[in-house]
Copies of this chain bind each other. A is one copy, B any other.
C-alpha cells in the first residue's frame, strides 16, 4: 500500500457516497487497486489485478467503473504518449497538478510539477474564458539517462 492510498481512500469513498452512488464491493476493490498501484494502470492491467482478488469480476464492470470515476473526476485518464499501443492509463486525481514525461527509448514514465504549469493554467482560463475542468500535459522525448548515452539504441516512436 502506497502513501497515496491511506490519504485518499476515505475521500474517494465519501465522494462516491455523496453522489448517491452505491458502494459495491467491486467498486471498492477497483478503487483500492488503482490507488495502491505504484504504476499507471490501463483497463486490462486493472482487470488482471482485480481477478486476482475476485476471479469472477467481469471486464464490463471494470470499464463501467472507470467511466464512473472519470465522470466524477476522481481519476484522470492518461495516454503516456501511447508508448505501448493505444492504451489509456488511469491515476487518482490529486489536488496538485502534475504531468508526465515518457522516454521513447527506455519507456520510463516520470512525473513532474512546476509552478509555471499552475500559472499557465490560470493564464489560459483568463485568456480564453474557459472554465477548466481537466488539463492534461504530456511530454515525449529522451530522458537524461538515455540522452547521456547518446546511443544508437532502437527507438520506439516519434523520433524525427
Residue positions of A touching B, CB distance < 8 A: 70-73, 77, 79, 81-82, 86, 88, 101, 103-104, 110, 112, 114, 116-117, 119-120, 123-124, 127-144, 147, 157-160
Question: Which chain B residue has the least Cβ–Cβ distance from A129?
Answer: B144
A-B pairs, top 7 by smallest CB distance, nearest first, are A129-B144, A133-B141, A73-B160, A134-B140, A131-B142, A132-B141, A116-B120
Say yes or no: B137 contacts A112, CB within 8 Å: no
Say yes or no: B101 contacts A130, CB within 8 Å: yes
Q: Copies of this chain, how many? A: 2
Query: Given A82-B77, A110-B128, A123-B114, A138–B135 Cβ distance below 8 Å?
Result: yes
In the bound complex, CA of A142 to CA of B131 (Å)? 5
Say yes or no: A73 contacts B134, CB within 8 Å: no
In the bound complex, CA of A81 to CA of B72 (Å)? 15
Say yes or no: B132 contacts A139, CB within 8 Å: yes
Say yes or no: A114 contacts B120, CB within 8 Å: yes
Residues of chain B lying within 8 A (CB to CB) of residue A131 = 141-142, 147
Question: Which chain B residue has the least Cβ–Cβ distance from A116?
Answer: B120
